[in-house]
Amino acid sequence: MEKRKLGNSLEVSEIGLGCMGMSFGYGPAGEKSEMTKVIRAAVEQGVTFFDTAEVYGPFTNEVLVGEALEPFKGQVVIATKFGFKIDRETGKYGGVDSRPENIRRVAEESLKRLRVDCIDLLYQHRVDPNVPIEEVAGTVRDLIAEGKVKHFGLSEAGAQTIRRAHVVQPVTALQSEYSLWTRQHEAEIIPTIEELGIGLVAFSPLGKGFLTGKMDESTTFAEGDIRRILPRFTEEARAANKVLLDLINQFAEQKNATPAQVALAWVLAQKPWIVPIPGTTKLHRLVENNGAANVHFTKVELLELTAVSEQVKVVGTRYPAAMEASTGL
């Protein structure tokens, strides 16, 4: 697998692995030994970039990733995140928290769970309206000076927040949702980070599974699956959004690829500093996703797919209003 560069110096595989769904967000957690096999198989297939966060579980995903990747120290890049209040006894969330003392506590705890001496990439998970972003960036800058963190990242932050943070501590990567059905970042965010030399780590590049073509309006979601509350995943929205799937399928047939591979290849083709991090709990899906690195579009094909997909009105917002408001966009 080819490499891409985030920011000025963080080199990672062109496709990463989002590990959240192995422990959190999409129903019951996967069996630890099986998830370990998937993570290690990713390394064997050339993936060097793995994404986790303390809030996934909470805590259990970092433990899983740390144990699975311990044999590959120095060969892989692990990104994790701070930014939430989490009760250490109950695991319950209490909103955002990017106070310096919490950032430091999370960093120390993440180092232990990940079994590393230094965190490769530390993101602010969500913007905290109660803590100036300059203070957040300054705290991470200090952690970098202390040798506990290598790179600073932001997640779902707006353009002005990114600019303000970047002045204090250069931002290596912005992690935000980006795919054929989530493209609002193209208006302001992507031009901003391109100007500043910041990479984009695209989470949910397969539309939380919808763009794989493996679900329809009759699909049911398990207890604990976040898609049960997302407007885009109501039965009505899924039925309406099949129009986009039909378009992707047409291109998949032309390219002798799967819909998932076309969706990922489209993200890869947008900019050389965009790295998608699809998640999976299945070995065969891992192989399929990584196969997107071998799917290439001509300029005409790319323009056509981009243009026709832009004409589709996606039904349903990404998140309920309260969740969307917390993104900082």
Write the CATH number for 145.
3.20.20.100
User: What are the CA-CA distances from residue 311 to residues 189, 231, 292, 314 (Å)?
Assistant: 21, 20, 24, 9
Whether 214 is covered by a domain: the verdict is no
305 vs 244: CA distance, rounded Å: 10
**Which residue intervals of 146-227 are DSSP H helices?**
159-168, 189-196
Q: State residue 329's pLDDT score.
A: 63
**Beta bridge pairs of residue 3:** 13
pLDDT tens column, 214-235: 999 999 999 999 999 999 999 9
* 196 contacts: CB under 8 Å, gap ≥ 6: 162, 163, 166, 171
Does any domain span residue 244?
Answer: no
Percent of the chain with pLDDT over 70: 99
pLDDT band at 317 (very low <50, low <70, confident <90, very high): very high
pLDDT number for residue 49: 99
- The catalytically annotated residue of 56, 93, 178, 319 is 56
* Mean pLDDT of the region 260-267: 98
* Average confidence (pLDDT) over 140-158: 98
pLDDT at 326: 72
Average pLDDT estimate for 144-149: 98
* Number of independent structural domains in the chain: 1
329 within some domain: no
What is the per-residue pLDDT for 12? 99
Per-residue confidence (pLDDT) for residue 328, from 0 to 100: 67
pTM of the model: 0.98
pLDDT in tens, 13-35: 999 999 999 999 999 999 999 99
pLDDT tens column, 169-188:
999 999 999 999 999 999 99
For residue 325, pLDDT over 90 is answered with no
Contact 77, 12 (CB under 8 A): yes
Residue 296 to residue 317: CA distance in whole angstroms: 30
Range from 32-36, 92-96, 196-200, 206-210 carrying the lowest mean pLDDT:
92-96
pLDDT band, residue 324 (cuts 50/70/90): confident
Active site annotation includes 178: no
The residue segments making up the domain with residue 187 are 3-208+260-295
pLDDT at residue 296 in the model: 97
Mean predicted lDDT score pLDDT of the chain? 97
Q: Do 319 and 77 meet the contact criterion of CB atoms below 8 Å apart?
A: no
Residue 218 located in a structural domain:
no
pLDDT of residue 327: 75
Q: Give the confidence band of 165 by pLDDT, cuts at 50, 70, 90.
A: very high
On whether residue 170 sits in a domain, the answer given is yes
The answer to the question of residue 291 being in a domain is yes
pLDDT in tens, 70-127: 999 999 999 999 999 999 999 999 999 999 999 999 999 999 999 999 999 999 999 9
* Helix orientation angle between 259-270 and 299-310, rounded to the nearest 10 degrees: 100
Between the CA atoms of 225, 226, 227 and 231, what dihedral angle is there, to the nearest 10 degrees?
A: 150
pLDDT of res. 322: 84
pLDDT digits (tens, 9 = 90+) for 279-299: 999 999 999 999 999 999 999
| Residue 145: inside a domain | yes
Tokens for 152, please give them: 């600073």
Query: To the nearest whole percent, how much of the chain has pLDDT over 90?
Result: 97
Which helix (DSSP H) or strand (DSSP E) does residue 93 occupy?
Answer: strand 93-96
273 phi, psi to nearest 5 deg: -115, 20
Determine phi and psi for 239, rounding to 5 degrees. Answer: -65, -45
Q: Give domain status of residue 232, yes or no.
A: no
Q: What CA–CA distance (Å, rounded) separates 282 from 57?
A: 19
